Each structure stands twice: as structure tokens, then as C-alpha cells.
Amino acid sequence: MSDRTAVSEPKQKEKPRAAGDSAAPEARSDMNSVVWESGLEIKPVYSAEDVEASGGSGGIGRPGEYPFTRGIHPLMYRRRPFTMRQYSGFGTAAETHQRFLYLIRHGQTGLNVAFDLPTQCGLDSDDPMAEGEVGRVGMAVDTLADMEQAFDGIDLNKITVSLTVNGAAAPIMAMYFAMARKRGFDLAELRGTAQNDIVKEIIARGTWIFPVEPSIRLVGDTIEFCAKNVPKYFPVSICGYHIRESGATPAQEMAYGLAIARAYIDHVLERGLDVDAFAGRLSFNFDIHGNLWEQVAKFRAGRRLWAKILKQDYGAKNPRSMQLKMIAGGGGGGLTVQQPENNIVRGAYYALASALSGTQTMALCCYDEAYTIPSEHAAHLSLRTMQILTHETGLRDTVDPLAGSYFVESTTNEMEKRIVEVMADLESRGGIVRAVAEGWVQAEVNRQAYEREKQIRSGAIDKVGVNCFVEDEEPPDIEFHPYQEDDAAKQLEKLKKIRDERDGVAVDAALERLRSAAAAGGNVMPSIMDAVEVYATVGEVCATLKQVFGAFEEPIRF
């Protein structure tokens, strides 16, 4: 739950139907007016004339070719299915390791690691601020020893790993690299991803540590370090997902995500790197819930727009730099506490939308994720959902089966225009970094969330089991994931033991070198690598950087 925003809307419509009533919801019964969340008004019938009026068919192209509207690979799933990477992690590294093995045994092809809130906020498990939160909503990681235990025996050449962490991404990435190198893996061949999108974090989630500018500098340090040392690794997964979960429309989600990616590219270019040296290793994490066709249009438009931005604005020459590579799975914001088994069906539709949109990786929310850490049973069902989609439905038979549809191509064109409009509005406000630093984007997302909640409560937007088709029965028994205080105690004991046994002089010296590198404006990743290899903690690394960078203070706007 640490990186999902499950929504449950508690109110019924003003005139709820009687229990068991199967009539269509009054608010949408005639369907005379359909307007997508992004503001596109949808016609009942589309024709070739609509495609031409919206911008024409010249931007459709072929799969695997610029502008990649139809997907970034020529054969897409015909050649290779999307990676299945369920989000998982809780308690200690030992517990999470067991869940990893469970998922791999049942056919999962990638790992997506959840970290607890203290780790995400750069705090050690024995910090007073961490009390009660150690291992609660993700895996607790204090030192390299935790990373070693979590991935013990897992072949990192066969199972790629996504590290879902942002503010503390630099030390966590360093620990992962150090662990891999210690186990004999070649960093030049290591594949994987770190979320590491701090601008999104400031907009949507709140696990920030440092002010905006030094935070972007840290993202730049990781990009530069990976370009030179871990060239097959994705050092940043720009994350529109959480912005959407916090209230943004699909068009805003894509626009803000692309704007954030541009900010990172601009920063790294200032360091003297060529755009083709690193842009191909930027990836994206996007959300899926709501109208299926709006999601498809969002992704096809976003992929095409990203290719244009890289080629036309940045002068990229390598087609791989122009490809929008993404993980897209079900959004927790679409799940409900009410009638929770309905979420199994929702998840299947989200998976279908993700696949039809051309994702490379899928991380499908579990049905119980609206209210708890996913159970093994729920995680197993989500994995099987993706496997059924891949192996039984014919989804892999042909690439982009929706291409050429009058409806799909028209709405793709219109969605691209809407995304461009949002990005232009951002630029008029000084760009995404300034708009976030001043709190404007956060205020806009919050306003959208408020308006949508009002629509759900009024019944203007249907939510099955919440404000329509409500059953007159007692709420179901809900089994929550237990919080094991004993596990937290074990984590503290483990941390104390490491502090007692490590070379304290070496740790102090490494941290001082890190402080000097940060103060001098150099790339801090080599110094962080040195520190974590002598078992400096996440909290010690982040505290050292705070001495130089300070801490972020959230701007409040009304």
C-alpha cells in the first residue's frame, strides 16, 4: 500500500436503487452526452471524416517505427509477452524474500519492490520518527545486508528488478548495485529499473527528503552514473501513475509525466552528456483505471508525442531514445472497499487496457489492495489474470489490433492535442519544476480530486457497488495484513548488530567523502557506493546529504 492510492467512495447516489435492482444507472441511462475525464466529448459514431478532422492518419505509422504510435517493437507480444512484475514487499528482508520466491515459482517474470515509509523517507528503522512504521507498508531496508538477504539466490540476469523508491533512491540503488557486484554480476550487463522520480513525489505522494533543485541534481547523478557504469539499467521511471492516483485527469497524467521527463533531460544535458547517451534508458510508469478507451488513446498519443519531442526538440538520432518504454497496470484509485471481489473483474479489464495500449511491463493491482497489503491469494489471482490474458485470449496474435479504428485514431489525435495544451500551460507558468516548487501543480491535482469525488458522491460518475448496484447486506469480513511488531524488533536488532560489527572508522570516512562531494557539486553516486559497501545506513547517507542540501518544505496553496 505504500505506493498505491486505493480509493473507496463511501456515499451512495442521492436516490439509490433498491437492493438487487439491475436497472441501468439513471445518470447515464440515455448516454446522450459522454465526456471523458480529460474533457474530450465523445460522439456516438465515428467515420473516416472524423479522423481527418482530428488531424489525419499520417501519425499512425508501423509498430516499431517512428513515431511509435502502434508500439515500440515491430512484433510486440507476438515475439515476447509483457513482463509481469507484481508490486510486493513487507516486513523484513527475510519475509519479502519469501514472497519474491513465491511469485517467481508461480511464473512471475520480474520483481517490483515496495519499501516501507521510513526507508522511502531516508530514515533508519531505529529513528524515533520510524516507530510504528517499520516494515508496515513495504520492506524495511537499512543497510546492504538487507538487500543481500532480500535477493539471496535470485538470478538477477533472469529476473529484472524494479526498485519503487524515490527520495532515498540514490542509496537504495547503490545498495542494489553493490549487492549485485558482490554476488559476481557484471554491472555493465545488469538490467532493472528505479522509480527515482522525485518531482512526481513532491506532487503526489510526499516521501520527499531534499529541496527540489538538489533532488533533481541527485536524479541527474544517478542518470549520469548509470550511463557510464550500468548502461542497461533504467535509472528513472517517470511516474505519472501517482499523479493520476492523486486526482489528475488522464491527459494531465501524461502531460505532467512528459514534462517531468523533459526537466530531467534538460538537467542532464547541462552536464554535457549527449541525449542519445541516456534518453533511451528513461522509462515511465503510468496508471490505468476508468474509461478503457481513454486509457488507450492516452498511451498511443503519449507515445507518439514523446517520440516527436525527442526527435524534434532534442535532436535525438537513435530511434531507441525516442521510444516511450512503460510499465502500466491497474490503478489502485479504481479499486473499492465495497464488494471487494469486484476488483478482480476490474483488474482484468485494467490488464486488457494495458495490453491494448502497448505496455512493456504490467504490474496489476490485487483485489484486496484497496484496504490492505496484498495477500498471497490475491497476488496469485492477479498474476494468473495476466497469464490468462497472455496465453488464452488471443491477445498476442497481432500487433495493435485497434489501429485504423475511426474512433481510436480520432481520439488518439484529440488526446495528443489535449496533452500538448496542458504542457503549454505548464510552460507559461515557468515550467514543471517551478510550478511544483511553488505548489501550483499540487493545487491543480487536488482540485481535480475534489471535483471527481463530488461527481462520485452525486452519482454523476458510476461506481458499481458504491453508488449503483448497491447491495443491502452486511459489509464483508475483511482480513487485514497483520503488522508484526516482532518483525520490527528483529529489524532493530539486526541493525544494532551491524552497527556494532562494521568498521566505524571506514563508515565515518566514507560519509565525510560523501559530504565533501555533495558540497563540491560533484556526482555523489561513487561516494554513496563507497559508503554503503562498508555498511553505512540509508539514514546516515541521507542525513549527510541533508547537511549540504537541507530539507524540502512543502508550499501550501489554497
Domains and their CATH numbers in the chain: 26-458 (3.20.20.240)
Euclidean distance between CA atoms 86 and 3, whole angstroms: 12
Q: Are 176 and 148 in contact (CB under 8 A)?
A: no
Euclidean distance between CA atoms 249 and 298, whole angstroms: 10
User: What is the Cα Rg of the chain in Å?
Assistant: 23
Q: What is the pLDDT of residue 30?
A: 54
DSSP-assigned beta bridge partners for residue 87: 112
Q: Are 462 and 354 in contact (CB under 8 A)?
A: no
Cβ count within 10 A of residue 185: 15
Set of cell numbers at residue 438:
511553488
Q: Which residues contact 353 (CB under 8 A, 6 or more apart)?
A: 288, 292, 295, 296
Q: What is the pLDDT of residue 18?
A: 37
Following DSSP, what letter does each residue of 128-159 receive, concatenated? GGGTTTTTSSSB---SHHHHHHHTTT--TTTS
Euclidean distance between CA atoms 186 and 157, whole angstroms: 9
Q: What is the pLDDT of residue 15?
A: 39
> Residue-wise over 103-136: b if at least 16 C-beta within 10 A, else e?
bbeeebbbbbbbbbbbbbbbbbbbbeebeebbbb
Q: What is the pLDDT of residues 448-504, one digit of tens each?
A: 999 999 999 999 999 999 999 998 877 777 777 777 788 899 999 999 999 999 999
Euclidean distance between CA atoms 127 and 43, whole angstroms: 57
Per DSSP, 486 falls in state H
* Residues written for the chain: 558
Positions in the chain short of pLDDT 70: 1-31, 557-558
Following DSSP, what letter does each residue of 208-261 receive, concatenated? --S-HHHHHHHHHHHHHHHHHH-TTEE-EEEEHHHHHHTT--HHHHHHHHHHHH
Q: Are 198 and 222 in contact (CB under 8 A)?
A: no
Euclidean distance between CA atoms 418 and 113, whole angstroms: 33
Euclidean distance between CA atoms 413 and 423, whole angstroms: 16
Q: Are 119 and 113 in contact (CB under 8 A)?
A: no
Tell me the backbone φ, ψ of residue 405, rounded to 5 degrees. Answer: -65, 130
Euclidean distance between CA atoms 198 and 165, whole angstroms: 9
- At 295, the amino acid letter reads Q
* Coil vs helix vs strand at 42: strand
Q: Which residues contact 263 (CB under 8 A, 6 or more apart)?
A: 199, 216, 431, 432, 433
Q: What is the pLDDT of residue 484?
A: 75
Euclidean distance between CA atoms 453 and 93, whole angstroms: 37
Q: Which residues contact 319 (CB under 8 A, 6 or more apart)?
A: 65, 66
440 to 326, 429, 433: CA distances (angstroms): 26, 9, 10
End-to-end CA gap in the chain: 28
> Residue-wise over 491-521: b if at least 16 C-beta within 10 A, else e?
bbebbeebbeebeeeebeebbebbbebbeee
Tell me the backbone φ, ψ of residue 284, rounded to 5 degrees. Answer: -135, 150
Q: Which residues contact 501 (CB under 8 A, 6 or more apart)?
A: none
